[in-house]
Amino acid sequence: MLKLRIIPTLLFKDTVLVKSIQYGSLRRVGSARQAVRVNNLRNVDELLFVDIGATRTNSIPDVQLIDDIADDCFMPLTVGGGIKTLHDARSLFAAGADKITLNSAIASNPGIVQEIAQIFGSQAVVASIDVRCIDGQYTCYTNNGENPLDTPPAELAQRLQSLGAGEILLNSIDKDGTMDGYDLTIIKKISEATQLPIIASGGAGKLEHFAQAAAAGANALAAASLFHFTEITPSDVRNFLGEQGFNVRK
């Protein structure tokens, strides 16, 4: 049985880390390299770094910055933002990324998932599905929540599995930055639709939220605001989940 992973999320824009609420209302929260060093001390399971400005500027995360971050990062590092081609992915892997996450590219060029997976392995490809719920119906979005897709979330997850993605990063736009709990309904839907591990993201605000998402089917739990704005650490989360009977790293 896979161990639950706790994954701090670092959102980067321009030159600093930021935190969003429902993919808007950005707030600066500090330095990327300092955040990586802090997470090293906290002995986290993995780290997720996403440049949320990269797609709009038709670029990928700064390769030199990723190289610098990787020098300080002693845990698996997933990098995302603006990745569209095999060359983009290759550049980030060479800079020190262990995995890359794709969002907008899975709509514009879904074959890129298969192409990268065939060369670097499925475990290196994290497919990011951003969802919003309107009138009880879930819709997938790309481009930082701006462009809706016709494909339902469960169908998209199944398609990404068939293309060779190694796991799904499931982001709830509605829950992003609210700290009022993960969207358990969509976690259940996607976990039932695919055999891929699910990283739940969006809404973590207290320890109980992590247990609820894990019980709903998440295999990993990502959080940003909780770790930026409260005294709760990834170790606190891991210890709490262990006490609740979940399989976590000791």
d(CA 112, CA 41): 35
Q: Which of 130, 174, 176, 183 is catalytic?
A: 130
Q: What is the 3-state secondary structure (H, E, C) of the chain?
A: CCCEEEEEEEEEECCEEEEEECCEEEEEEECHHHHHHHHHHCCCCCEEEEECCCCCCCCCCCHHHHHHHHHHCCCCEEEECCCCCHHHHHHHHHHCCCEEEECCHHHHCCHHHHHHHHHHCHHHEEEEEEEEEECCEEEEEECCCCEECCCCHHHHHHHHHHHCCCEEEEEECCCCCCCCCCCHHHHHHHHHHCCCCEEEECCCCCHHHHHHHHHHCCCEEEECHHHHHCCCCHHHHHHHHHHCCCCECC
- Do residues 189 and 137 make contact, with C-beta atoms less than 8 angstroms apart? no
Active site residue 135: no
Question: Hey, which residues are catalytic here?
Answer: 130
